[in-house]
Structure 1
């Protein structure tokens, strides 16, 4: 799989495609392909190679952990022009329309095979837990990972408070159930110290050679009064990017404050410590959903990708000097 080595533009004989997708993370061992495991990347790559009949390498907006869901994930891939033109066959349809139809059938078949093998639970006929919702030729300079301005995740909790939402059996796979009442106001106040650009080492599982510096634009805990999430305790978090397990660690810190086991100043103190010793607890994956990936206007895609590739160092105000 291509990561940092992904070329900034498609080769001359290829077309770069943008795919938008959604998935239920319960049946996947995360995004990244792993031998012997069912992953989102592995399933999508297999389906694309079946339809396109060429090897495929994907670049994703953000790798999700095992069990995490996505309502609006984005990937790109470079496809030889001949393979792209061959997708409709003799149907006369646009390649992107034919690709969506054919992928839907292949992904449904793959999901049924996974269910028959006991890898996942039962799957309704013709359905899949991975859906490609959009396909189009990407504009010049588009990179699903590096061109993104921000990612937005939402974490949902059903707590035991008197104003809390009733337990919903149909959403049990997307909402964390807790028996105690959470102090949502304290959780939200504690989050304010984490906003801005910081080294989030205390909230990340670092990867070798990768930075843990991120810019957190929004970190808001609230309990909606209406709409489909009324009564739930929800965290909405927006950043330029997230490192491994960062969002679930932010959730874990907030829940510790909401339960009263930690004070409101603890998340900020933990951030300043910049250490894996006593790092933030990691909340369960199933309550987390990637809701949105934001990109700039087409004429700014390449410049945004160039800026995002620059390795960031910890800000001076966090260095302890």
Structure 2
């Protein structure tokens, strides 16, 4: 897609949430699989009476099948006339047309330089785990993984902290041809809520495919005593996939937040991200997790 908004078009930011349980991920796929992008684009085409014209969305984080989002951000470039005609009622009309497992909370005209994907400073994910002997609250079962061993949160947190910084995460990533596995983790920690749910929170500029769920798998092995606190860092430094590192199920993972710089810094941030991801490495660094 073009780096700039074409003449006669308006870039619109969408803030949205979805329950990923019944989706084959964010991105449209061949074969008619149900995706978040496909549902929103279909609804947008219908409520704006655009006929066969699809207004394509660009997203901050391409979540995998089964992964949820509370603070997802996307953008779409609409014809200026269409935006002017529908903007006042578009949010309500989308609410009536979208399935109940997707909600768009805001539609705003984006400032100059905004790009949902490339202007983002960081993405924040939280993975939720329950370790009560009786299992997970049935009302939370679609969003919390049950781990059948008691977890030591303090040890897990120490192991998570050892992975902070810029590293090659090849040992925790599903490799893609020609793609770099170097990422910078800005924050990584583990805590237990008052209701007993364990939350594993990680924030980074971008993630490799399956990176978050692989790191969570390693932390669970530490938390239940199967591995020592130093093991996740040893796996990282080895630089190769360890068969003991499991990619945990997707339903415990939620994209909670995407952050952007001040409006006047958007264009600079977008340019920097495109240069690093597109020119230096030849591939995007904003894979799903």
Calculate the TM-score normalised by the size of structure 2. Answer: 0.90
Contact 1:9 1:142 in 2 (8 A): no
Q: Which of 33, 41, 61 is matched with 1:45 structurally?
A: 41
State whether structure 2 residue 11 is matched by structure 1 residue 20: no
Q: CA offsets per residue over residues 97-122 of structure 1, 9 Å max, x none?
A: 41111111111xxx3xxxxxxxxxxx
Q: Find runs of 4+ consecutive structure 1 residues off by over 6 angstroms.
A: none
State whether structure 2 residue 146 is matched by structure 1 residue 177: yes
Q: Which of 168, 184, 191 is matched with 2:137 structurally?
A: 168
Counterpart in the other structure of 1:131 = 103
Shift of 1:80: 1.0
Counterpart in the other structure of 2:180 = 211
Distance of 2:250 and 2:135 partners within structure 1: 21
Q: Which of 229, 238, 244 is matched with 2:203 structurally?
A: 238
Counterpart in the other structure of 2:232 = 267
Counterpart in the other structure of 2:3 = 8
Counterpart in the other structure of 2:123 = 151
Distance of 1:16 and 1:265 partners within structure 2: 47
Distance of 1:21 and 1:208 partners within structure 2: 31
Distance of 2:163 and 2:258 partners within structure 1: 21
Distance of 2:175 and 2:113 partners within structure 1: 28
Higher mean alpha-carbon deviation, 187-196 vs 204-213, is at 204-213
Shift of 1:31: 0.7
Say which SS state the counterpart of residue 269 (structure 2) adopts: helix
Shift of 1:176: 0.8
Counterpart in the other structure of 2:94 = 103
Distance of 1:179 and 1:273 partners within structure 2: 28
Contact 1:17 1:136 in 2 (8 A): yes
Task: Count how many residue pairs are aligned between Structure 1 and Structure 2.
Answer: 274
Shift of 1:302: 0.8
Q: CA offsets per residue over residues 176-221 of structure 1, 9 Å max, x none?
A: 1122201111111111221001111111113333321111011101
Distance of 2:244 and 2:204 partners within structure 1: 20
Shift of 1:170: 1.0
Q: Which runs of 5+ in 1 are unaligned?
A: 1-5, 88-94, 112-127, 314-321
Contact 1:203 1:279 in 2 (8 A): no
Shift of 1:279: 7.1
Q: CA offsets per residue over residues 35-78 of structure 1, 9 Å max, x none?
A: 22001111111111112313211110001111111001000111
Say which SS state the counterpart of residue 162 (structure 2) adopts: helix
Distance of 1:173 and 1:29 partners within structure 2: 15
Counterpart in the other structure of 2:25 = 30
Q: What do you get for the CA RMSD once the two structures are aligned? A: 1.7
Higher mean alpha-carbon deviation, 276-285 vs 142-151, is at 276-285
Distance of 2:221 and 2:135 partners within structure 1: 22
State whether structure 2 residue 63 is matched by structure 1 residue 64: yes
Please tell me whether Structure 1 or Structure 2 has the larger radius of gyration of its CA atoms.
Answer: 1
Shift of 1:274: 1.7
Summarize the alignment of residues 70-85 of structure 1 with structure 2, pairs less than 5 Å apart: 70-85=69-84
